Amino acid sequence: MEEVALNARFHREFRIRKSREYQRHRARSRTYHTSHFLVTWAPSKCDNSRLGLTVSRKVGRAHQRNLTKRRLRHWFRHMHHELKAPWDLVVIARPGAAELDFSEMAEQLRPLVTWLNRKSEGRA
């Protein structure tokens, strides 16, 4: 993985922020499943890949949900440079996701990056 500064922020241009953006994404997205995550993806209309997160109370208490979101943002900061084309990703955490450490989380989501890169080669 590419080295990322410890104080690297999760800037606005890398986030799906508004309800309207989530609804638009949901209408045109495809789905990828792992045991602890459901990821919906769609080609991005922006110049860079963006991430949206949904971590419900089924995942755990507030501190567990916050930790899960921090780990997912950290994963995205590391991997979004690897994507060959811009994608909008919405990661929905399932129960049990809070028990994963960062390396287990990245291992579950690694095939998605490979698959999206193959998909983007067909798009070009």
Q: Does domain 15-123 have CATH number 3.30.230.10?
A: yes
| Residue 28 predicted with pLDDT over 70 | yes
DSSP 45-67: SSSS-EEEEEE-GGG-SHHHHHH
Residues 34-66: tens digit of each pLDDT: 999 999 999 988 889 999 999 999 999 999 999
Contact criterion met (CB below 8 Å) for 88 and 74: no
> pTM of the predicted model, to two decimals?
0.84
Q: pLDDT (tens digit, 9 = 90+) per residue, 80-105?
A: 889 999 999 999 999 999 999 999 99
